[in-house]
Amino acid sequence: MRTSGLKVKYTFGFKPLQQYLIETNDGHVQALNIAWDSRSKEQGGQQWFHLQPDENINPEHPFFWTRYFQNWNNRCASCHSTNVTKNYDAEAHSYNTTWSEINVSCEACHGSGKKHLELAKKNKITGNNSGFSSPASPALNWQFKPGESIASPQGKKNADQINMCGDCHSLRTPLTETTEGKNFHDANRLQLLNEGSYFHDGQIREEAFVMGSFLQSKMHGKGVTCSNCHNPHSGKVLIEGNGLCAQCHLPQVFDTPKHHHHPEASTGAACVNCHMPERTYMQVDGRRDHSFTTPRPDLSRTLGAPNACTNCHIGQAGKDDTWASEQLSTWGIEPNNDHWATLSQRVRTGDVLVTQAITDLVDEGSSPDIVRASLLQELAAFPSNASIKTALQSLQDENPMVRRAAVSAMQALPPDTRWKFLSPHLNDKSRSVRFQLAETLADTYSQLRPDQQAALAPVLEEYLVSLKVSADSPTTQASIALLELQFGNIKAAENAYLQALRIEPNHVMVLLNMADFYRSTARDTEAETLLKRALSVAPDSGAVQHSYGLLLIRKGDSSGALPHLKLAIEQADAQARYAYVYAVALDNQGQTKEAAKTLVKATKRWPNQYDLLMTLVLYLEKSGNTYSIKKYVSQLMMIAPNEPSVKQLKERYIR
């Protein structure tokens, strides 16, 4: 890509920061890492700044301005301009992107304005007939009933504004070229509350935008929608301060020191500071969480989630999470110990004993649908009779996110069982669910009868069409590669991987997937080249260190593999499997005691893991260190009481 002699062609955004776009000679429009802080001097603005000041940004870094993650055509255009058509040419890896207006105009939300213009010329626009193909849907009105402190909706809630606004105010994968007039989940695949983008309690962590938060809220559940609080054209709130909340929450009850326990008109008395904590992105852009929760400093202590109390009192001596919990208690505010965040944390660490609690929550149905879907999806890691029963029931759920998660929960089942359970749902009315069905059933295709293949083929074809909407994404190309592999198209799969690396040469997930592809096709030399590149790009990735360690083992260099396998379990993205493999490698090198120590630590980080516990017991026996075995056998009895090997250990160690 040409990087010199180029001009800044467009400015991008204006408040609180302004970015600058450069068009290269292949149609790529790239955003510079240097931006202008357009806030006032009093707010710390009116200066240039770097968007990643703590990163060593060199030309090989993923966030260097010429790389994929800084590409406007793919990453920004559809939500910041109107009627965008990317016109991506995969063969040339070029764009001929077009738009009707470079900024967000009327047609971005309301669809074609042709008829609107005709009506305007004839002076025939009315409140009921604006002429736009996607007219605005009014928000519900809210009224206080006698004796109630919270207003009630007047009328039937609908998803029209979610469908319209969600296209851009969400973290999602587009499934169709155009979204106008479509249900959100028929045009997009919303990212659920996964680790990385969200904290365990559902608060925003990375740039997840608004919809995933809002769908968790009681407000959404009752029928509150975007324009109840925001002017849809300016984006600003309708009323500044607590008056906005007073539309539905009686100020005599909620806007008083008795409720908020702070001096009137103080920072702590502002509703948003307790119920919509703010995080800063892009160095200067403060964004508020829209799940409208209450502060939970107890969850901060146990799960690491932030809370509004210590967010405000940050840096004040003695005012930590413990202090905040005690302060709430003195006000008579006690935490709900049944918060789903605890289940989220347990399932993400692979604790199989959380299965029943999650299935109970999903089946009960009163939790927000996005929470139910997120937890159900996590159960794919360890399927059980209970989780499959819940997944089967959830395939009938009204909400497409829950149905989609139910499909995911069956990913680890044998192919014939998956087909049996999922094939009756191939015609699900939501494209996002059909998309998930295609992903989950693709590897069964070659094993199906001709009539079954004929039933699955249209779903796979639609899936491929949806993938090609984002053909300029490296992760999409990796998905295309996996699909081609299911059909036995080895060369097509390799070409898709190569295209992914053409888009972003240092995309870690693609490097790992393609290395595994080369390994599976007996091309270890090519695999090693890719893994070495991944290691240089992301040495702090547990997945990379683990994969490179396995490569060295395959090459017969077990001692050389140990440092990499050890590093793998020390990283933030480490998995229980990495600890198991490292322990086995240690044992194979005659370091059984060290292997046992590794597994003891691992069982604390990943509790109730059968493989970790069973291997630990075996290594303790092998090293003659049997005094602590009883503890681990007891845990195995809780996980797999009917397993023959566990029964034998019980007879041997539990008296």
Axis crossing angle, helix 576-588 with helix 592-605, rounded to the nearest 10: 170
**Proportion of the chain above pLDDT 70, given as a percent:** 100
Identify whether residues 173 and 266 lie together within a single domain: yes
Q: What is the DSSP string of 101-118?
A: BSS--HHHHH---HHHHH
What's the mean pLDDT in 68-72? Answer: 97
Dist. CA 255–CA 251, nearest whole Å: 5
Residue given tokens 């006690």 in the structure block: 334
Q: Is residue 552 part of a domain?
A: no
The answer as to whether 2 is a domain residue is no
Of 229, 372, 330, 234, the closest CA to residue 288 belongs to: 229
Which range marks the domain in which residue 648 is found? 575-655
Domain stop point among 278, 311, 335: 335
Q: Is the pLDDT of residue 96 over 80?
A: yes
pLDDT at 47 over 90: yes
What pLDDT is attached to residue 109? Answer: 92
In DSSP terms, which residues pair with 519 in a beta bridge?
Answer: none
Phi, psi of 35 (to 5 degrees): -130, 170
- In angstroms, the CA 29 to CA 100 distance is 17
Domain count, the chain: 3
- pLDDT for res 352: 96
Report the 10 Å Cβ neighbour count for 2: 11
Q: Quick check: is 95 in a domain?
A: yes
Query: Is the domain of 32 the same as that of 164?
Result: no
Q: Is 375 helix (H, G, I), strand (E, B) or coil?
A: helix
On whether the CB atoms of residues 582 and 565 are closer than 8 A, the answer is: yes
Query: Which among 55, 79, 104 is the end of a domain?
Result: 104
Task: Please write the tens of the pLDDT for every residue from 230-252.
Answer: 999 999 999 999 999 999 999 99
The answer to whether residues 289 and 186 belong to one domain is yes
Tens digits of residue pLDDT in 304-329: 999 999 999 998 999 999 999 999 99
**CATH number of the structural domain spanning residue 649:** 1.25.40.10
The one-letter code for the residue type at 621 is E
Same domain for 152 and 39: no
Residues 445-489: tens digit of each pLDDT: 999 999 999 999 999 999 999 999 999 999 999 999 999 999 999
**Whole-angstrom Cα distance, residue 526 to residue 515?**
7
518, 515, 523, 525: which is closest to 546 by C-alpha? 515
Cα gap 515→598, rounded to integer Å:
28
Q: Give yes or no for residue 2 having a pLDDT over 70.
A: no
Indicate whether 71 and 151 sit together in one domain. Answer: no
Residue 3: is its pLDDT beyond 70? Answer: no
Inside any domain, residue 377: no
Question: Could you tell me the maximum CA-CA distance found in the chain, to the nearest angstrom?
Answer: 93
77 and 159 belong to one structural domain: no
Residue 70 lies in a domain: yes
Is 496 a member of any domain? no
Q: Are 512 and 529 in contact (CB under 8 A)?
A: no
Domain assignment of residue 429, yes or no? no
17 and 63 inside one domain:
yes
Q: Are 432 and 463 in contact (CB under 8 A)?
A: no
Three-state secondary-structure class, residue 165: helix
Q: Which structure tokens are listed for 524? A: 């270890």
- What's the CA gap between 520 and 298, in Å, rounded? 47
Q: Domain check: are 286 and 158 in the same one?
A: yes
> Helices (DSSP H) in 365-414: which residue ranges?
369-378, 385-394, 400-408
Measured CA to CA, the distance from residue 434 to residue 444 in angstroms comes to: 15
Q: How far apart are CA 202 and CA 200, in angstroms?
A: 6
425: Cβ–Cβ under 8 A, 6 or more apart, which residues? 395, 403, 407, 433, 437
d(CA 136, CA 25): 40
Q: What is the pTM of this model?
A: 0.95
Are residue 217 and residue 152 in the same domain, yes or no? yes
Handedness of CA 326, 328, 331, 333 (dihedral sign): negative
Task: Give Cβ neighbours of residue 121 (< 8 Å, ≥ 6 apart).
Answer: none
